[in-house]
Amino acid sequence: MAPQNSPITPVILCGGSGTRLWPVSRKSYPKQFARLTGEESLFQASVRRLSGAGFGAPLIVTGDPFRFIVTEQLAATETDPLGILIEPEGRNTAPAILAAALWLAAKDPDALMLVAPSDHVFNDPEGFRASVHAAAPAAQDGAIVLFGIAPSRAETGYGWLELEPGANPAADTPQPLARFVEKPEPADAERMLSAGTYLWNAGLFLMRAATAVEAFKTLAPEVVGPVEASVFEAEADLGFCRLAPKPWASAPDISVDYAIMEKSTGLLAMPYRGGWSDLGGWEAVWQEAGPDGAGNVAQGAATAIDCKGSLLRSEPDGPELVGIGLTDIVAIAMPDAVLVAPRSESQRVKDVVAALKRKGAPTAVQSARDHRPWGWFESLVVGDRFQVKRIVVNPGAALSLQSHHHRAEHWIVVAGTAKVTVDDQVKLLTENQSVYIPLGAVHRMENPGKVPMVLIEVQTGSYLGEDDIIRYEDVYARK
């Protein structure tokens, strides 16, 4: 039952750029925005999970590159956020959480804030919400409550929580916490699993905004000054709150566990006995996706023939991926990159990303689809002095009024209607119609319709980089 008090504010952290699920997750489009285990992204599933009776509108903390992805995915869930804080750069979880706490405390110091990552999976959302409500009275009384997962195996990839002697790891109320245990060695993990007095650390925290601020002032004062200044000097921008970059840059790059939690006394742990995963690698995706009788998972345009214990994934629109006679293999196909590895080696994906960065491969960090506030585009063919793109513009959206120094463009509409500006001429183009944009012409593309507009763009010129853009007007205020 939801507590009879002011609603809990979910503080959803979604500024990370995880690499352990490459090639689906990349720096330009990380895993929280991808559909990995269902029809919605992990971020959207988090928003829905932290809603309903007893919950208020979410406060989102994210990075500048993701701000329009966040708003688009929130709109798809019909969620109006309490606010969206834009970090000037990633400084780990401690500064992000403190910024949210200061922002909330300025409105209501007694506001309860539930800090949650945006890329976790819970198989019992209703049960998790019940755990949050059960922990709320202790948080209202000034405690910091962590959420611990009932362990199902001797996992070495998670941190663990040791409860105080006599505490009940299966209780329906918060229990006293003795200490944190960092990712253990296999023998230690087996011992903790057998002891039955440990929980996995899920990285979720419930506390009053004022409690969080006071904890930082007492235990991590070096974080407070820069973050406080950054919040105080923040600027509104198209519905976002941009934290000031100069003071933010001097904030320590530190996690909340190291800055606050491991130094605190009197912490409480709220047991949660439902299924949970942080989807920390392809092995976890295979487990959460529900293998069939042969132990296989086939996602998207993927087919498994005489395979065992394997994960095959491709995008719904291809490329077609077929595995024959595979055993315990992960095969992930994207339009511009393919990963094949034994499941037992799939945690080494970070090594792959590092190797690709060393050789200068754009696929290390850049997604095949480049997401923009108006929609997205992808390169279909790149050659000497030419490039072919597919561009999708959302209904009602518009690209900036712009020109190029080094390239001309030819646009062919293949779906929907385009409103095209070329210098002083404005015209509507429908399917199978085209227009030529000479080098140096001032131009803009808009979608005045109710359905996505799709066109093929052919670029020709001596330089085709995305930085060859002179913007004259931009409804998204990009710099």
Question: Contact at 8 Å (CB) between 52 and 44?
Answer: no
pLDDT > 70? residue 197: yes
- Residue 458 is inside which H or E element, if any? strand 453-461
Mean pLDDT of 132-139: 96
Question: Strands 470-473 and 401-403: what pairing?
Answer: antiparallel
Of 467, 439, 278, 245, the C-alpha closest to 370 is: 467
Residue 441 in this model has a pLDDT that exceeds 50: yes
Q: What is the 3-state secondary structure (H, E, C) of 67-134?
A: HHHHHHHHHHCCCCCCEEEEECCCCCHHHHHHHHHHHHHCCCCCCEEEEEECCCEECCHHHHHHHHHH
SS3 370: strand
Of residues 475 and 414, more confidence is placed in: 414
- E strand spans, 182-254: 198-208, 235-237, 240-242
User: In the predicted model, is pLDDT for residue 4 greater than 90?
Assistant: no
Q: At what angle do helices 67-76 and 42-49 cross, to 10 degrees?
A: 60
Structure confidence by residue, pLDDT tens digits, 220-270: 999 999 999 999 999 998 889 999 999 999 999 999 999 999 899 899 999
Backbone angles phi, psi at 300, to 5 degrees: 70, -140
What span, in angstroms and rounded, lies between the C-alpha atoms of 96 and 16?
A: 11
Q: What domains can you pick out in the chain, each with its CATH number?
A: 9-277 (3.90.550.10), 282-357 (no CATH), 373-473 (2.60.120.10)
Average of per-residue pLDDT across 50-75:
94
Q: What is the pLDDT of residue 3?
A: 43
Amino acid, res. 245 = P
Sole residue written with tokens 């400084």: 91
Confidence at 84, pLDDT banded by 50, 70, 90: very high
Would you place residue 271 in the very low, low, confident or very high pLDDT band (cuts 50, 70, 90)? very high
Q: What is the pLDDT of residue 5?
A: 61
Specify the pTM: 0.90
Query: How many of the other CB atoms lie within 10 Å of CB of 218?
Result: 12
Distances (CA, A) of 171 to 152, 157, 166, 168, 300: 17, 25, 11, 5, 40
Rounded mean pLDDT, 163-185: 92
Residue 207 pLDDT greater than 60, yes or no = yes
> To the nearest whole percent, how much of the chain has pLDDT over 70?
99
Q: Encoding tokens for residue 86?
A: 């834009």
In one letter, which amino acid is 193?
L
* 154, 190 contact by CB (below 8 A): yes
Average pLDDT rounded to a whole number, residues 69-96: 95
| Under 8 Å between Cβ of 438 and 410 | no
Report which of residues 38 and 235 the model is more confident about. Answer: 235
Question: What number of residues does the chain have?
Answer: 479
Report the alpha-carbon distance of residue 277 to residue 291 in Å, rounded.
16
Q: What is the mean pLDDT of residues 201-209?
A: 96
Read off the pLDDT band of 479 (50, 70, 90): low
- What is the pLDDT at residue 2? 40
pLDDT confidence of residue 16? 77
Higher pLDDT, 156 or 292: 292
CB-based contact 174:138 (threshold 8 Å): yes
Answer yes or no: is pLDDT of 399 > 70.
yes
**Overall average pLDDT of the 154-177 stretch:** 92
Give the residue-averaged pLDDT of 455-468: 94
